Chains A and B, each alone.
Chain A
């Protein structure tokens, strides 16, 4: 999914469902310079979300890195409307929300395209992160039609290569694991021979 702040009917999408929370999954493979949005999974919590993300976005060794982010931690920065106060956005009542944190910025270049990671904002208060993100929207070459921020602390990262690129043969579940050329040649020969016999 490329767009998760509103569904086709314009309503905000549920970040929790009747059996857990939705986690957005960003994936990066060898050729990608940075992670891009791949889809989402639902899990009761972050621990299982990481497992499931690996299954849905990594079991065919298609990713070398995954970011798993609770949908509720991704906040869209709308250039027109102001963001709610920082303590509402990022506070859980316990953490110091005015304390400096790192943020990741994600952007969408064109409607319908997947989100990509744009940049990290180091050590900023949430209000500053908002300001910088808006400036980014205006200044970055190529522009982004939409932007989101999330605290870096909310990103669950999976880079363990034993999980993403395990050592043993899994070609049976990939297209490149099948080579039917030789078998086809044998089959065609047989069919040809049978035709000749009967004619």
Chain B
């Protein structure tokens, strides 16, 4: 609703549309594995869903939109790439489609933030403030440094091909230089690249916050889940009327 001008309004609407589309793709997969869509959604609105940690945080300013689009999506892409070679091929193909679509989101976010950094002093401040606020969340995005043998997604299910720490390092490798080159300051005095160990060193993230989120007790969780529940319930009469017409029509050639 609050996009500043036409282009960001269109781009943001398209991005949210894509996220909904990704949910649909994943729920479809899950449904083919036996769990009906209504059950998945009911779990979500009952607060039992395991949706990603970034959705538990509030967005405060317009700069948050660009920051999230750039950095949260960059973090997600790193994870998703690791899932593209999943041993379960329907999942692999879905993740490939999702990755392809997410690449536009990250570009859109980066475009927004760079535009702001090239803009007025007020815009630059807004962008910096958003980064400062979101950085701690980004550092816990990929989860704790769990060794491969303890990570079932790697060792047992063969769904994931890299450890959490490897994913985080990949994220930092790609994005830290890009953030710094446009003049943004990363709010971690410890952050530096260690040439010898060939890895990024950083301050220990706040793992307690992540644990709260895993219990669905993040700062914006209740509000977000509540909003979802309300929208879902409001739409029940529409789903009911759709169920009335349930037969396949014979071929309609829409030329």
Contact = CB atoms under 8 A, between A and B. Distances in A.
A96 interface: no
Q: Report whether over half of chain B's contact residues are helix, strand or loop; otherwise say mixed.
A: helix
A13 interface: yes
A123 interface: no
A184 B93 contact: no
B255 A190 contact: no
A174 B104 contact: yes
A142 B118 CA distance: 56
A178 B92 contact: no
Contacts of A160: 254-255
B180 to A, nearest CB: 8
A187 B90 contact: no
A141 interface: no
Interface in B72-106: 88-90, 92-94, 97, 103-104
Interface string B181-193: 1110000000000
B245 interface: yes
A9 B33 contact: yes
Interface residues on A, range: 35 or more
B37 A45 contact: no
B118 A186 contact: yes
Among A4, A22, A173, which residue has the most Cβ atoms of chain B within 10 A? A173
B89 A112 contact: yes
A7 B245 contact: no
Interface string B25-37: 1001101111011
Interface string B136-160: 0000000000000000000000000
Nearest to B115: A183
A32 interface: no
B243 interface: yes
Interface of B: 7, 10-11, 14, 21, 24-25, 28-29, 31-34, 36-38, 88-90, 92-94, 97, 103-104, 107-108, 110-111, 114-115, 117-118, 181-183, 239, 242-243, 245-255
Nearest to B88: A8
Given A1-B32, A20-B246, A156 B107 contact: no
15 contacts: A1-B94, A9-B34, A13-B32, A17-B36, A39-B93, A39-B94, A42-B28, A42-B31, A154-B250, A156-B252, A158-B254, A175-B107, A180-B114, A183-B114, A187-B118
Nearest to A153: B251
Contact of A187 (B32, B88, B117): B117
Given A11-B34, A42-B28, 14 more contacts: A7-B90, A8-B33, A18-B37, A22-B32, A39-B94, A47-B252, A56-B21, A156-B251, A156-B252, A160-B255, A173-B10, A184-B181, A184-B182, A187-B114
A19 interface: yes
Nearest to A173: B14
A58 interface: no
A21 interface: yes
Contacts of B89: 1-3, 111-112
B160 to A, nearest CB: 16
A172 B36 contact: no
A19 B253 CA distance: 24
B243 A44 contact: yes
Nearest to A176: B104
B252 A7 contact: no
Nearest to A174: B104
Q: Which of A40, A50, A70 has the most CB of B within 10 A?
A: A40
A133 to B, nearest CB: 21
Interface in A18-44: 18-22, 39-42, 44
Contacts of B117: 187, 190
Nearest to A6: B32
Nearest to A11: B34
Given A4-B32, A111-B89, A194-B183, A17 B248 contact: no
A44 B242 contact: yes
